[in-house]
Amino acid sequence: MTRPSLGPPTGLPRFLRIVSLLILNAAFLGAGIATIAYFLVDPVPVDRPAPLNPGTNAIWIQHQWFAGEKDEKAAQSLAENLQRLGFRYLYAHVGPLNEHGGIPPYDPDQARRFLAGVRRSASGTKILAWLGGKNKAWGGKIDLADPRIRAAVQERCQELLALGFDGVHLNIEPVADGDADFLGFLDTTREAVGDHILSVAVMKHREWTFPHSWHQKWFWGSEYHRKVAARADQVVVMAYDTAIPLAKVYSWFIREQTVRMTQVAAESGNPNARVLIGLPTYDYHRLTHDPSAENLQNGLPGVLAALQDRRTRRDFFEGIAIYAHWVTSNDEWQEYRRRWPPP
């Protein structure tokens, strides 16, 4: 009785067996070298002196500050603390836009008290009305192409600016690379905002090009980023939810995002465009976010390395933006102070 062979087919030519063994050994060797390099090689080398925290950082704050659950004294304390930490811009959540371009009801007097409290204790702080929502093109409620929606958003912006906000921060998601409707939406919003600040949360930058696929709603190419930057005063890169599970890889990713986005802003033709790099402090796990890699501890070294990289257009860099105030722990604030000391 013939026993089944447990090894490679004996008929396989000797040359192919040798090639197979060489490929297998090369794969193991490559994996070993990559592992050693990961632990020994610095992925964020620098070539000029370390920069200082510019004191022009931003942070997203939750709806209760605007909607009346916090009193004026609390607003003053919030603003004082954040100013000491080097934050100039507060993105105050005003509410998600609905399918008509409206926002949830609010008390205008309370909103004015909140704004007055911040300015009383932290002069120079800029408070932007954070308007978010989900794009109808991806199953949401906001039809960016609808002129009625655009007109309603214009009215909301003018109303909020009349209350005393310094500008508007738009966070519409997702928006695919090349979406002309979003550019039109930005144009009409720019008209409403006028000389006030228009800040836009933008997708991550990519250098590669592929046919249309899922990645286009998470990554934009340089051309589209330039078009958005041409219309905005701030482009705030949502440099999180990358699905990167390794700390050093995330640091490298942040460095490259900072380098390239400052270049894109400089290339936009808008001398007022400034870049902020959004870093996460939330700690829940999901497919696109591993908090052991995506965090301030790993993100800030990437920003610092970029600012020490001669490719970076420092004159177009504004600061970092923390997402978000309500999930930032004391340990994370200590990490912030250590790696990005306030001015």
Question: What is the pLDDT at residue 69?
Answer: 78
State how far the Cα of 176 lies from the Cα of 237, in Å rounded to an integer: 15
Is residue 32, in this structure, part of any structural domain at all? no
Does residue 23 lie in a domain region?
no
Query: For the segment 308-334, what is each residue's pLDDT rounded down to a tens digit?
Result: 999 999 999 999 999 999 999 999 999
Task: Say what the pLDDT of residue 72 is.
Answer: 87
Q: Residues 15-39: pLDDT tens digits?
A: 666 665 567 554 544 444 444 434 4
Q: What is the mean pLDDT of residues 88-115?
A: 95
β-pairing verdict for 87-96 and 234-238: unpaired
Asked whether residue 30 is domain-assigned, the answer is: no
Q: Rounded to whole angstroms, how far apart are CA atoms 171 and 258?
A: 19
Which CATH number do you get for residue 100? 3.20.20.80
Whether residue 312 contacts residue 258, with contact meaning beta carbons closer than 8 Å, is answered with yes
Q: Is residue 35 part of a domain?
A: no
Residue 24 lies in a domain: no
- Please tell me the predicted confidence (pLDDT) of residue 22: 60
Is this structure's pTM higher than 0.95? no
> Which residue(s) pair with 121 in the sheet?
none
Render pLDDT for 201-230 as a digit per residue (tens, 0 to 9): 999 999 876 555 556 778 999 999 999 999
Domain extent, residue 274, equals 51-339
Domain count, the chain: 1
Residue 73 lies in a domain: yes
In a domain, 102, yes or no: yes
318 contact partners, CB below 8 Å, separation of at least 6? 54, 56, 57, 58, 234, 274, 275, 276
Report the mean per-residue pLDDT for the chain: 89
Residue 190 lies in a domain: yes
